[in-house]
Amino acid sequence: MDQLVQKALAARKNSYSPYSKFAVGAALECGDGTVITGTNVENASYGLSICAERSALVKAISEGKRKFKRLAIVTDSPEPAAPCGMCRQMLIEFAPSLEVILANLKGKSEVLRLSDLLPKAFRLG
Task: Catalog residues that contact ligand THU under the rule CB under 6 A.
Answer: 17, 20, 22, 24, 40, 42, 49, 51-53, 83-84, 87
**Minimum distance, C-beta of residue 120 to ligand THU, in the bound complex (Å):** 20
Per-position DSSP letters for 66-88, written without gaps between them: --EEEEEEEE-SSSPPPPPHHHH
Active site residue 53: yes
Do residues 101 and 3 touch, judged by C-beta distance below 8 A? no
d(CA 88, CA 102): 13
Shorter beta-carbon distance to ligand THU: residue 20 or 34: 20
**Minimum distance, C-beta of residue 125 to ligand THU, in the bound complex (Å):** 27
Instruction: Provide the annotated active-site residues.
Output: 53
